[in-house]
Amino acid sequence: MGGDKKLNVVVLGATGSIGGSTLDVLARHPDRYRAWALTGHTRVEELAQACLQHRPALAAMSDETSARLLAERLRAQGLEIPVLAGPQALCDLASHPQADAVMAAVVGAAGLPACIAAARAGKRLMLANKEALVVGGATFMQAVEQGGALLLPIDSEHSAIFQCLPEDRTTWQDRIDHIVLTASGGPFRQRDPETLHAVTPAQACAHPNWVMGRKISVDSATMMNKALEVIEARWLFGLAPEQIRVLIHPQSIVHSMVVCRDQSVLAQMGTPDMRVPIAYGLSFPQRVTSGAAPLDLLALGGLTFEAPLASRFPGLFLAWEALRGPTGTTAVLNAANEVAVQAFLEERLRFTDIHRVVADTLAGCQPGLSALPPVEDLLELDLRARRHAQALVVAQRT
Ligand code: NAD
Ligand code: MG
């Protein structure tokens, strides 16, 4: 590569919503960034399209068959791109000596090992994959510290908080009274809670302000997404659970706020477009164009805020409870939610039973971990909690 000062970016989950937005931002700055490696799960054609457009040095798929099909598909177009296979491939790419930056945009706990690999290898680690931090907790943060990685939040709320804080992290503790994460309230913000049992996956995925992957769309509808973000904020900013508050802000213009010790409130605003936090993650501490539309406050008219109700969004309130529980409790919460959301998307579970499965798994599955568990123990707990939740899903049907 000698003399080439472009940032080599690994996009994990390149076929997803965040992955696609990342490729869009990268393509706006070919002088600064190179989509150096792209990974997908099993959708061969979608990763093939991304490879044809971005010409990465390497690619990876989750299984041997998909990898072989992708390599053949690319060769037929005259592209010789080595395609790796399996979960370990994500770790190898994320920690590769030629990789400078890693966009962690896999969905779910499946992304944790690659995040840890990137952290240990000291990469610029752009974290969209919030579940990895919810499961990894202190273990994840220790890997970041020991590896000397630069951890940059991509979740819009956490990017907002990060943008409101000075670069010197050692000042954060003294400066912050609390933070306010904003939430859109999702598609069911005004729906009668009594009718929520009947909602369909399509209704739950029809988010008013953002177009996102299906899992996070359901999480937004239950506000479990915000629960995961409360946990994510605890680790990213080193806050106590009571220093994290949540407000519903249906316009999604104020992306979050920092309330300082002196009661000065700093907010970051913009149109709801994930390319803004992605561009900031790529360019920090500089700024580059993102492709987002300008914010038109006059057209908007007003910004409103409301309190989230426990009767409508019971899952949200599990965040603080889980943070106060023993190490691993947040991993149990996440695993149960992943299982329940998947079952809901496959129409094996009612919308309102998502919360029941999560709460019952939390009550029935004890983590039993040390304070700073190795990643292997966290992954084992994740599996155990999944089995517990799966059994509850089956029981709900009968
Ligand atoms: P998505 O479903 O659109 O994309 C997920 C990507 O991960 C795909 O490329 C898929 O191929 C890959 N993938 C899925 N399972 C995998 C596995 N087991 N192994 C390897 N790869 C796998 O999801 P998304 O909306 O892009 O969200 C990605 C992450 O970013 C999630 O953690 C989500 O919470 C977070 N996030 C998303 C948004 C958004 O606007 N979409 C905003 C904030 C945070
Ligand atoms: Mg978010």
Helices (H) and strands (E) in the chain, counts: 17, 11
Q: How many angstroms does the Cα of residue 105 sit away from the middle of ligand 1?
A: 5
Quote the mean pLDDT of the chain: 97
Domains and CATH numbers, the chain: 7-153 (3.40.50.720), 161-272+306-396 (1.10.1740.10)
Query: What is the share, in percent, of the chain residues with pLDDT greater than 70?
Result: 99
Kindly report, residue by residue over 287-315, the tens digit of the pLDDT.
999 999 999 999 998 999 999 999 999 99
Kindly report, residue by residue over 40-59, the tens digit of the pLDDT.
999 999 999 999 999 999 99
Spell out the residues 6+ positions from residue 358 whose beta carbon is closer than 8 angstroms to its own.
224, 315, 318, 333, 336, 337, 340, 389
- Is any atom of ligand 1 closer than 6 Å to the C-beta of 54? no
Residues 278 and 272: their CA atoms lie apart, in Å, by 12
- Is any atom of ligand 1 closer than 6 Å to the C-beta of 13? yes
- Is 147 known to sit in a ligand binding site? no
Tell me the average pLDDT across 70-80: 97
Q: Which ligand is nearest to the CA of 158?
A: 2
Given the CA of residue 129, which atom of ligand 1 is nearest to it?
32
pLDDT at 210: 81
- Is any atom of ligand 1 closer than 6 Å to the C-beta of 182? no
Residue 23's CB is within 10 A of a number of other CB atoms, namely: 21
pLDDT at 4: 59
pLDDT at 397: 74
ipTM: 0.99
Kindly report, residue by residue over 172-209, the tens digit of the pLDDT.
999 999 999 999 999 999 999 999 999 999 999 998 88
- Is 130 known to sit in a ligand binding site? yes
Residues 45 and 149: their CA atoms lie apart, in Å, by 33
Q: Outline where 55-186 has alpha helix (H).
A: 64-76, 87-94, 112-120, 130-147, 156-163, 172-175
Nearest CA-CA partner of 104 in 74, 71, 134: 134
Kindly tell me if the per-residue pLDDT of 282 is higher than 50.
yes
Kindly report, residue by residue over 5-43, the tens digit of the pLDDT.
899 999 999 999 999 999 999 999 999 999 999 999 999
What kind and span of H or E run contains 83?
strand 83-85
Position 1 confidence tier, pLDDT thresholds 50, 70, 90: very low
Look up the pTM and report it. Answer: 0.98
Q: Which ligand is nearest to the CA of 91?
A: 1
- Is any atom of ligand 1 closer than 6 Å to the C-beta of 131? yes
Instruction: Say if CB 256 and CB 230 are below 8 A apart.
Output: no
- Is 29 known to sit in a ligand binding site? no
Kindly report, residue by residue over 338-378, the tens digit of the pLDDT.
999 999 999 999 999 999 999 999 999 999 999 999 999 99
Position 398 confidence tier, pLDDT thresholds 50, 70, 90: low
Tell me the average pLDDT across 216-239: 98
Taken as a whole, the chain contains a residue count of: 398
